[in-house]
Amino acid sequence: MSDEQGLPATAAGIAPGASRLSGRRILVVGGGSQGVGDPDAPPGNGQAIAALAAREGAAVAVVDVVSEAADETIRLIEQNGGTAAKLIADVAEPAACERLVDDAAGALGGLDAVVLNVGIGAGLKLESTTVEMWDRVFAVNLRSHFLVARRALPVLPRGGSIVFIGSVAGLRPGSLMPSYDTSKAALLGLCRHVALEGARRGVRANVLAPGLIDTPLGRVASRLRPGRERAAIPLGRQGTAWEVAYTTIFLLSDEASYVTGQVFVVDGGLSMGAF
């Protein structure tokens, strides 16, 4: 089964659910629609993850800093018969990070898993990156992940899962934003520690590192840096947010019950450096 572009049904986001997360309660931080108001925009990674988790049977708490962005994802979930709750939070604020975990658990009647998808970039090259830019990026891309994970670990039950959405920019330079690349690289170290502590409680933690994915933010990045889309991707195309989402669902599900502290790369072979 495929769409008119020849993509598999899963990559196109049109495959039916298989109840892989039935009964689970999942918090998706950064789950709002990045293409708010644009009917032609593809889903972002967070929106696709939230929508697919609901399709697979989970109740989902969608967190975003923009109310309309969260509303659009929740509308998509509810149109397909899913259950969702909206939470608004600016994860650059430390208090908001702990509050959103408690609010999600309250709204869903508990919490089984967390996906941390939120991330920003600022400042091209070293000379254009200010201290303020650096600190803001690290507050959102790394400190918030630490704070949410710290609060979530005591809440999650045995068999729970935390998925950090990183980037191939954390494995090799390429975004031209030193704050972004460095924060994504540091996320791998944070994940390993969370996985180590979580293992004692039966909670897993992994990083998913997407490459060039066709999302609203990806299209903005391509307009700012046209050479981005000329990268040599062995599979010959950009990925879709649904392909990121399906790997995330695997990591959240019991199918990955013996997987923790690992980095899963979804990049069509880009990070191999093949030419």
**Catalytic option among 43, 47, 168, 180:** 180
Backbone angles phi, psi at 119, to 5 degrees: -170, 150
Cβ partners under 8 Å of residue 69, min gap 6: 32, 33, 34, 36
Distances (CA, A) of 45 to 53, 126, 189, 218: 12, 28, 22, 10
Q: Is 180 a catalytic residue?
A: yes
Distances (CA, A) of 143 to 106, 118, 129, 148, 215: 23, 11, 19, 9, 24
More confident residue, 179 or 221: 179
**Sorting pLDDT into bands at 50, 70 and 90, what band is 275?**
very low
Residue 1 has pLDDT above 70, yes or no: no
Hey, how many other C-beta atoms are within 10 angstroms of the C-beta on 39?
5
Pull the structure tokens for residue 2.
Answer: 């495929």
Pull the structure tokens for residue 68.
Answer: 């309309």
Backbone angles phi, psi at 91, to 5 degrees: -70, -5
Mean of the per-residue pLDDT values of the chain: 93
pTM: 0.93
pLDDT tens, residue by residue, 9-24: 999 999 999 999 999 9
The CATH homologous superfamily to which domain 19-268 belongs is NAD(P)-binding Rossmann-like Domain (3.40.50.720)
- What proportions of the chain, in percent to the nearest 5, are helix, strand and coil? 45, 15, 40
Domain residue extents for the chain: 19-268
The predicted pLDDT at position 33 comes to 86
CB 166 within 8 A of CB 207: yes
Judged on CB neighbours under 10 Å (0-12, 13-18, 19+), 146 is middle
Hey, how many other C-beta atoms are within 10 angstroms of the C-beta on 126?
8
End-to-end CA distance of the chain: give it in Å, rounded: 31
**Sorting pLDDT into bands at 50, 70 and 90, what band is 134?**
very high
The predicted pLDDT at position 230 comes to 65
pLDDT tens, residue by residue, 14-72: 999 999 999 999 999 999 988 777 778 889 999 999 999 999 999 999 999 999 999 99
pLDDT tens, residue by residue, 87-133: 999 999 999 999 999 999 999 999 999 999 999 999 989 999 999 99
Report percent pLDDT > 70 for the chain.
Answer: 93
pLDDT tens, residue by residue, 189-247: 999 999 999 999 999 999 999 999 998 877 766 666 666 666 789 999 999 999 999 99
